[in-house]
Structure 1
Amino acid sequence: MTIEKDKVVNFHYRIKDLQGTELESSFGHDPAAYLHGHNNMMIGIEKALEGKQKGDEFSVELPASETFGEVKENAEQRISVKHLQGEKNKKWKPGMTAVVHTDKGAMEVSIVKVGKFMVTVDTNHPLAGQTLLFDLKVEEVRAASQEEIAHGHAHGVGGHQH
């Protein structure tokens, strides 16, 4: 089955910088899952996977505009320390990353400044502004259920859990 609109795609990825340093990987874990053609995957990844099939394995270099976006100026916000999520009992320091839940879902942020009750975070994704290398391996391609199409996302492992 070929990857096209309304197909659920399960795939593994490895993200590297242009020097080849691995930054993140799903290999050794559950694969990522998404509903192709419904704007819930990075545009560069979706374009790279279009037309591929189960078992296809390849690498692609993608600009920031097609992955985590360009760096946005004035993207700092002050928030309560209690909203930071990460390792339990972590002592937050500048340069660390954390997850903050927003009305648009989870957002990864970088810690800029830490006070007793408040922190300043940069809401740019930590990989924003970078051209990145992606190693991709298609694990499964299947037709989406009518419910998945209606909801606009894949269900199950690697996808959305209701």
Structure 2
Amino acid sequence: MKIEPQHVVSLTYDLYVDQDGTETLTESATQEQPLTFLFGAGQMLPKFEENLSSLSTGDTYEFRLAAGDAYGEYDEEAVANLPKEMFQGTELPEIGSILPLQDNNGNRFQAQVVSIAEDSVIVDLNHPMAGQELHFKGSILNVRPATPEELSHGHAHGPDGHHAH
């Protein structure tokens, strides 16, 4: 079956990212634990879906996404100082750890701790893969029409359309 909007796609992928001139495998979805998503629902990177849009069950694929089409270019300005008072009553986070944050509008995002100064914790708000070209290889395991419940919820309920219990 061909991939179309309002269809559920299950696929495998290997994601390679260039690190110091060497392509490194950074993420995978296997046949046992495929990536399953509702196509066209805005959950995936738009260019990722665009590259899959002509495929059908059983097809293999390989494509690259430029940083601008993936998680964006690295933004030097997206570094923030959080006052140490924010961490009163808890231990200060370690450098390299990921903090779940929320802005005044209730939007959730993650920040990586890059350093700790005298009175603040400095965090990088860029996506960990910002500024990187993504190289995907994989195969389409299954394509099926979404169930009415999946369409009303706006996401897939697993490869067969049911929530795992």
TM-score bracket, shorter-length normalisation: 0.7 to 0.9
Distance 2:99 2:12 in 1: 22
Partner residue in 2 for 1:123: 125
- Structure 1 window deviating more from structure 2 (2-11 vs 108-117): it is 108-117
Matched, 1:141 2:139: no
Aligned counterpart for 1:55 among listed residues 58, 61, 81: 58
Query: 1:15 & 1:2 partners in 2: Cα distance?
Result: 23
Q: Which letter does structure 2 place at the counterpart of 1:150?
A: S
User: How many pairs were matched up?
Assistant: 150
* TM-score normalised by length of structure 1: 0.75
Aligned counterparts of 1:45 and 1:100: Cα–Cα separation in 2: 25
CA RMSD of aligned residues (A): 3.1
Could you list the runs of 5+ residues in structure 2 that have no partner in the other structure? none
- Give yes or no for contact 1:75–1:124 (8 Å, CA) kept in 2: yes
Deviation at 1:109, TM superposition (A): 3.1
Separation in 1, partners of 2:100, 2:77: 18
Does structure 1 residue 34 correspond to structure 2 residue 37? yes
Cα distance 1:55–1:115, how it changes in 2: closer, same or farther (>3 A)?
A: farther
Q: Does 1:92 align with 2:94?
A: yes
1:134 deviates by 0.9
1:45 is paired with a residue of what secondary structure?
helix
Shift of 1:133: 0.9
* CA shift for structure 1 position 72: 2.7
Identity %: 31
C-alpha distance 119-28 of structure 1, shift in aligned 2 (>3 A): farther
Conserved? CA contact 2:16–2:135, under 8 Å:
yes
TM-score calculated relative to the size of structure 2: 0.74
Unaligned runs of 5+ in 1: 83-88
Using the TM superposition, give the Cα deviation of residue 116 of structure 1 relative to its aligned residue in structure 2, in angstroms: 9.2
Task: Find the aligned partners of 2:2 and 2:143 in 1 and give their Cα distance.
Answer: 7
Q: Secondary structure at the match of 1:44?
A: helix
